[in-house]
């Protein structure tokens, strides 16, 4: 009675999963890529048909469809039943997230047409950070302009930061509200958060998912002067600059590669660009860890999650090396081990516990969906 289809619709890909939200088991998952490309499917409706064909019998007994929506803007943060009014609100938000929300809307629209009898629920990636303290959420820019254009730090990957911080508390057998945590979500997109007592205190992404850590293809923090300089002097258009910062920066822009497995191989073979990319990545990560240790006073737990965080022992080691004076010490052997579940990787002597906790955004979205559907009766 809890089977949910979770859809994460991007501009050229559609990720999907069927999740049994009670047991937490993943029945099926996959991705349809190259939507609108030569050799791919023509559009999102066709992509969804591919999903239905793949899922076949796994579609039986669905109770809801959950949609990941990147940006909820200032007002949308609780998981919400999709109706025409919500679609209109999401359309109005598109300028805030032009790269992410329009494809999500497209996904919602084709899925609603294809599965009209099921409730569809939107779950927002910004939701968890809705209650960031004003000091962390506010940019120090002209306050009237900020208010007029809804400019604030929204934060993203919220579903993951919330899920992982709750799992960390569960794993440690400690009440969530007693913990000061730093969560490092390091995937192709990457973000850090500081969480006290289950509430977000700061996070590295801002108005858009471009701020903060160095990512697969995004720059993370840059001097905003770079944008005006490129616009004025290099005569790059706003679209060119945005595309460069989102798609051709980060590890790809510096090291020519986003996959850390390949990047490490290139470093091994003496590639200086890959080496510098890695050093910039680690340097930025360490700055955020230090900043959040200061914001929180100290951390009871630091947790690594997502593709790089869960799998790359070298990144975890280099992110935390030399921090014993700050109370953070890894156990090299535990760090080098691999396992599927949550695990501790800190030394016994470390006053901060360091964990690896696999994220499961699909499960979190499925659970949010079921709670909305249950409330509806
Ligand atoms: P995500 O966005 O969470 O799916 O993370 C994807 C990224 O995780 C990939 O681009 C890789 O850089 C990284 N990744 C996945 N598996 C490994 C691994 N075994 N070792 C190092 N990095 C990995």
**pLDDT 10s digits, 183-230:** 999 999 999 999 999 999 999 999 999 999 999 999 999 999 999 999
Atom of ligand 1 nearest to the CA of 306: 3
Atom of ligand 1 nearest to the CA of 263: 12
User: 344: closest CA among 283, 291, 300, 292?
Assistant: 300
Q: Which of 308, 314, 317 best tests ligand 1's pocket when mutated (most atoms within 8 Å of CB)?
A: 308
Helices vs. strands in the chain: H and E counts, helices first: 15, 12
Active-site residue, 125 included: yes
User: 103: closest CA among 66, 67, 157?
Assistant: 67
Q: Cα separation of 40 and 31, whole Å?
A: 12
From the CA of 235, how far away is ligand 1's center (Å)?
Answer: 35
Is 189 a known ligand-binding residue? yes
Q: What mean pLDDT do residues 266-294 have?
A: 98
Is 335 a known ligand-binding residue? no
- Say yes or no to pLDDT of 377 above 80: no
Question: Each residue of 68-89: pLDDT tens digit?
Answer: 999 999 999 999 999 999 999 9
Which of 38, 43, 58, 125 does the annotation list as catalytic? 125
User: 195: closest CA among 171, 220, 177?
Assistant: 177
Residue nearest to atom 11 of ligand 1 (CA): 259
Residue nearest to atom 17 of ligand 1 (CA): 311
What pLDDT score was predicted for residue 376? 83
Q: Cα separation of 368 and 315, whole Å?
A: 32
List residues bridging with 124 in a β-sheet. Answer: 69
HEC sequence for 133-196? CHHHHCCCCCHHHHHHCCCCCCCCCHHHHHHHHHHHHHHHCCCHHHCEEEEEEECCCEEEEEEE
Is 310 a known ligand-binding residue? yes
From the CA of 185, how far away is ligand 1's center (Å)?
Answer: 11
Residue 3: φ, ψ to 5°: -85, 125
Residue nearest to atom 4 of ligand 1 (CA): 307
Atom of ligand 1 nearest to the CA of 264: 21
- From the candidate CATH numbers 3.40.640.10, 3.30.420.40, 3.30.565.10, 1.10.10.10, the one assigned to the domain spanning 174-356: 3.30.420.40
User: 302: closest CA among 220, 213, 186?
Assistant: 186
From the CA of 259, how far away is ligand 1's center (Å)?
Answer: 6
Task: Kindly tell me the burial class for residue 367, based on how many C-beta atoms sit within 10 Å of its own C-beta (0-12, 13-18, 19 or more).
Answer: buried
From the CA of 364, how far away is ligand 1's center (Å)?
Answer: 20
Residue 102 pLDDT class (50, 70, 90 cuts): very high
Which CATH fold would you assign to the domain 3-124? Nucleotidyltransferase; domain 5 (3.30.420)
From the CA of 307, how far away is ligand 1's center (Å)?
Answer: 4
- The domain spans of the chain are 3-124, 174-356
What pLDDT score was predicted for residue 339? 86
pTM, two decimals, is 0.96
Same fold, 3-124 and 174-356: yes
Sign of the C-alpha dihedral computed for residues 188, 190, 195 and 201 taken in this order:
negative
Residue 69: φ, ψ to 5°: -115, 125
Mean of all residue pLDDT scores within the chain? 96
Looking only at the bridges linking them, the beta strands covering 199-203 and 190-196 are antiparallel
Strand order in the sheet with 3-9: 25-32, 14-20, 3-9, 62-69, 120-124, 80-81
Residue with tokens 């899925």: 111
**Share above pLDDT 70 across residues of the chain, in percent, rounded to a whole number:** 100
Is 113 a known ligand-binding residue? no
User: 277: closest CA among 265, 290, 263?
Assistant: 263
The residues, ordered by sequence, that sit 6+ positions from 115 with a Cβ below 8 Å of its Cβ are: 5, 62, 65
What pLDDT score was predicted for residue 298? 95
HEC sequence for 202-268? EECCCCCCCCCCCCCCCCCCCCCHHHHHHHHHCCCCHHHHHHHHHHCCHHHHHHCCCCHHHHHHHHH
Q: What mean pLDDT do residues 27-47 have?
A: 92
What pLDDT score was predicted for residue 1? 66
Give the residues surrounding ligand 1 with Cβ less than 6 Å away.
187-188, 216, 258-261, 306-308, 311-312
Q: Which of 191, 213, 261 best tests ligand 1's pocket when mutated (most atoms within 8 Å of CB)?
A: 261
Is 355 a known ligand-binding residue? no
């Amino acid at each position: 009675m809890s089977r949910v289809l979770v859809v994460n619709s991007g501009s050229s890909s559609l990720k999907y999963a069927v999740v049994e939200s009670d047991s937490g088991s993943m029945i099926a998952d996959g991705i349809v890529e190259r939507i609108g490309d030569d050799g791919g499917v023509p559009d999102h409706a066709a992509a969804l048909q591919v999903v239905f064909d793949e899922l076949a019998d796994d579609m039986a007994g669905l109770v809801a469809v959950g949609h990941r929506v990147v940006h909820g803007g200032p007002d949308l943060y609780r998981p919400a039943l999709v109706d025409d009014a919500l679609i209109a609100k999401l359309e109005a938000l598109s300028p805030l997230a032009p790269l992410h929300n329009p494809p999500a809307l497209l996904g919602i629209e084709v899925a609603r047409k294809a599965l009209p009898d099921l409730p569809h629920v939107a779950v927002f990636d910004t939701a968890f950070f809705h209650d960031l303290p004003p000091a962390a959420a506010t940019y120090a820019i002209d306050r009237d302009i900020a208010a007029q254009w809804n400019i604030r730090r929204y934060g993203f990957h919220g579903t993951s930061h919330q899920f992982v911080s709750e799992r960390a508390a569960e794993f440690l057998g400690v009440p969530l509200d007693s913990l000061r945590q730093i969560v490092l979500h390091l995937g192709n997109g990457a973000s850090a958060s500081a969480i006290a007592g289950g509430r977000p205190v700061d996070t590295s992404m801002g108005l858009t998912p471009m701020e903060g850590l160095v990512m697969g293809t995004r720059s993370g923090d840059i001097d905003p002067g770079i944008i005006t300089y490129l616009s004025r002097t290099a005569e790059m258009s706003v679209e060119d600059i945005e595309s460069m910062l989102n798609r051709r920066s980060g590890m790809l822009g510096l090291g020519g590669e986003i996959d850390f497995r390949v990047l490490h191989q290139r470093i091994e073979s003496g590639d200086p660009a890959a080496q510098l990319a890695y050093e910039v990545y680690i340097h930025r990560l360490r700055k955020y860890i230090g900043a959040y240790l200061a914001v929180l006073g100290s951390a009871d737990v630091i947790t690594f999650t997502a593709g790089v965080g869960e799998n790359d022992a070298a990144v975890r080691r280099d992110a935390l090396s030399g921090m014993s004076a700050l109370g953070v010490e890894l156990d090299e052997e535990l760090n080098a081990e691999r396992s599927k579940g949550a695990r501790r990787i800190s030394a016994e002597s470390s006053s901060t516990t360091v964990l690896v906790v696999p994220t499961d955004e699909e499960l979190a979205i499925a659970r949010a969906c079921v709670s909305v559907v249950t409330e509806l009766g």
